Amino acid sequence: MDRTHARWRKSSRSSAHGQCVEVATNISGICAIRDSKQLGAEALVLDTTRFGDLIRAVKADRFDS
C-alpha cells in the first residue's frame, strides 16, 4: 500500500504516555491504522466496511482491555 499521500490523524483517546493510534481514511476506499511510535512499520489495512465493523466492535467493548 502506498502511504505517501496518507493524511494521518491521532486518536482523541491517545494518551500522553506515547500510547497513540493513528488512522488514515483518505486512501482510495481503504483505512489504515498504525502505532504512532513506529511510523515506518506496516499499518493494519482494512476496507471501509471492515473498518466500520472494527469501530463498532471497539465501541461495544468486545475486546479485553
Note whether 11 and 21 are within 8 A (CB). Answer: yes
> What's the whole-model pTM score?
0.71
pLDDT tens-digit readout, 10-45: 877 777 776 788 899 877 888 999 888 887 888 899
Range from 1-5, 8-12, 59-63 that averages highest in pLDDT: 59-63
| CA distance linking residue 60 with residue 2, whole number of Å | 31
- At 3, the pLDDT band (50, 70, 90 cuts) reads low
Flag whether pLDDT at 8 surpasses 70: yes
Residue 32 burial (10 A CB sphere; 0-12, 13-18, 19+):
buried
